[in-house]
Chains A and B, each alone.
Chain A
Amino acid sequence: MMATTMTMSTGTPMLNDFLVRAALAAVGVAAAAAPLGCFVIWRRMAYFSDATAHAALLGVAIALTLQAPIFPTVLVVSLAAAVIVTQIAGREMASDTALGVIAHGALALGLVAVSLVDVRIDVDAFLFGDVLAVTRGDLGVIWLGAFAVVSLVVWRWSAWLLVVLSPDLARAQGLDPKREELILTLALAIVVAVAIQVVGALLIASLLIIPAAAARPWAKSPEWMATIAGGIGIASALGGLQVALWADTPAGPSIVVVAVFIFTISTLAATLRYGWGGSS
């Protein structure tokens, strides 16, 4: 509905600004999420990122109750949830069952908590995102967060690669795997906090994983994989917004649909070129 109104009146400068803000917000989040998503894939943290993202909804409920600003509250709650999950799920982060329980438990708890809050809010906006409602202030926070995430990834790049390969090897090199894990978790929590408005709590993990997975067949080095993933993330963000405008569909899910489309094309093309499973 809203999108239709917009398409019809794209001419006015104010609404243009409106769209530009949405595009900038989506691009910022996608560009930060995609390189980080490579580590989510390499470290097999898909469920973990889901759990962190779902906990964001609980953060929203807490922010509304305390009448605190959403972004920092969600950041703190997601980070706390991620740290707790790390403790519960154990050192390997591979405990599928525990993570599954926590991921869905956090989502359900968040939904219940939001419904208990006195303030009447649109839960959909937090579940599926509301990128078209991004304000200038939001945009500033999103880009600041995105910049922080990309900086963390660049700064810790080699260390994280070594931790992915072997925590013991990293330790022998004088690194502290636990510390690196914590910084990675912090980056993840920042992505969650800035992405909730763009794609919503339910789809944040897809923004991390899908561009990175689509990039894999074409990357000969980890750096290239992150770069290509970033490009695919940005393309998905812009393409998804375009689709949302044309087809009057919700922006967040449309972005993810475009990312899945690119992933499918990429996988098919890689299969044609290298054969099944021959992606390296």
Chain B
Amino acid sequence: MSALISIDGLRMTYGRDVVLSGVNLKVQPAEILTIVGPNGSGKSTLLRAIVGAEKPKAGRIERSPELRIGYVPQKMAVDTRLPLSVLRFLRLPNHSSSAAVAALKQVGAEAMVKRALADLSGGQLQRVMLARALLGAPNLLLLDEPTQGLDQPGSAALYKLIEGLRDDLGCAIMMVSHELHVVMSASDRVICLNGHVCCEGHPDVVASAPEYRALFGSGTGGALALYRHEHTHHHHDHDGDDHDHVHGHTHAE
């Protein structure tokens, strides 16, 4: 099968700041691809470039003719001053009510249909956003930190839902996440981003790559590194991977 998206030499800038450079990337049908990277590493920018919200400074983004994108942006300003029901939100700008209700059912949020958008909890809102992304029968879902603001059981449930959607709908999923411990296990492929693609591949390969360690093993990534290393520790316990273990502890301090 041909790739849904082929990115070649992508360069993105904000004013004088180079956010991304030399990014090459292909997204294959029905794969779960996760992008990890520190804050400001260009993860959201990459997604926004694919959606077309930001124009590339250089490079190409080739989209398959069959590509239909469902997009969940990083943040949405839901204000109590705007009286908007979930149904009305899903119908914007011109979707049918029946399609909106069907999408809510797919994410297990049909009970939300009449609720005011501003009254939803973080997890409910993320499900509604996901439902919205499903409306155009996408073959690629772009999710920008879909579990932000959710507690652990909440994000675990959401990841399970996302995996289920891939299985049911056969759509590819490209998501940005901070929760490396969960994401790593649910992904087919991980891309570690820091202005450029540091390393990529199967989750286990990325987790043990020196570039990845360099990013998440120090500074603000310390806490995340701890998570990951504990996870690695569990994973590799049987292999007697002591080095990993010690490494994790060093960074935890």
Contacts and interface: CB of A to CB of B under 8 A. Distances in A.
B83 A158 contact: no
B82 interface: yes
A161 B84 CA distance: 10
A169 B73 contact: yes
Given A158-B93, A280-B119, A168 B48 contact: yes
A4 to B, nearest CB: 41
Contacts of A171: 51-53
Nearest to B47: A168
Contact of B51 (A172, A216, A225): A172
A219 B85 CA distance: 11
Nearest to A165: B76
Contacts of A221: 83-85, 88
At the interface, is chain B mostly helix, strand, loop or mixed? Answer: loop
B69 interface: yes
B53 A172 contact: yes
**Per DSSP, are chain A's interface residues mostly helix, strand or loop, or mixed?**
helix
Contacts of B74: 168
B109 to A, nearest CB: 17
Contacts of B73: 166, 168-169, 172
B71 A172 contact: yes
Contacts of A279: 80
Contacts of A41: 81
Contacts of A280: 80, 83, 116, 118-119
B94 interface: yes
Contacts of B80: 279-280
Interface string A138-176: 000000000000000000001101101111110111010
Contact of A165 (B77, B81, B94): B77
Which of A42, A162, A168 has its CB near the most chain B CB atoms (within 10 A)? A168
Contacts of B159: none
A72 interface: no
Contacts of B168: none
Contact of A224 (B83, B92, B94): B83
A158 B82 contact: no
Contacts of A222: 82-84, 88
B53 A168 contact: yes
Contacts of B93: 158-159, 161-162, 173, 175
B89 interface: yes
Top 3 closest A-B pairs, CB basis? A158-B93, A168-B73, A172-B71
29 contacts: A41-B81, A42-B79, A42-B81, A158-B93, A161-B82, A161-B93, A165-B77, A165-B89, A165-B92, A166-B73, A166-B75, A168-B53, A168-B71, A168-B74, A169-B132, A171-B53, A172-B52, A173-B93, A216-B83, A220-B83, A220-B85, A221-B83, A221-B88, A222-B82, A222-B83, A222-B84, A222-B88, A224-B83, A279-B80
